[in-house]
Amino acid sequence: MKSKIRLSKIWFDDDVVELDIDVSDGKSSFANSVYVGHQRLKEIASELDRFKDQVDGGIYDLRLGEFGPEFVSGAFHARMHFHDRGYIYITVLAQSEFKDFARKNVASEATLYLVSQPALLDDFIRALTALSIGQRDDAELEAV
């Protein structure tokens, strides 16, 4: 199993895109879906482009969807941190859509830890930019 974060467009209209998100740390994996506005995808690509130059301790929080039963679909939060020069440490918190289970409303959740590198982040930014303007249907951040 390859260690990665993969965003795949599964549906869209004039306002939003529905993305499948697959995260794997090489041993464990978690998949969910989120909704995000087209403009927000463009903003994320631009913010990541600025973040990639903050190699001395920079932190970026990539958030898609919202956590909690009040919201449609799932949620995804990836905290990216340049802790050691040349490495990006990523903590991913992900939550599925809520569903009825016995007498409760529950969602599956996962926390995964990945390590990536600036060159791989560059590839992800290019793919995310292309995804945001409709030139491709997926973007993947490889981890090492």
Q: Residue 66's pLDDT is what?
A: 93
Q: Residue 71's pLDDT is what?
A: 86
Provide the residue type at 99 as one letter: K
- The tens digit of pLDDT for each residue in 33-84 reads 999 999 999 999 999 999 999 988 999 999 999 999 998 889 999 999 998 8
What are the chain's domains?
Answer: 4-142 (3.30.2450)
Q: Comparing C-alpha atoms, which of 12, 76, 22, 20 is closest to residue 44?
A: 76
Q: What whole-number percentage of the chain has pLDDT above 90?
A: 92
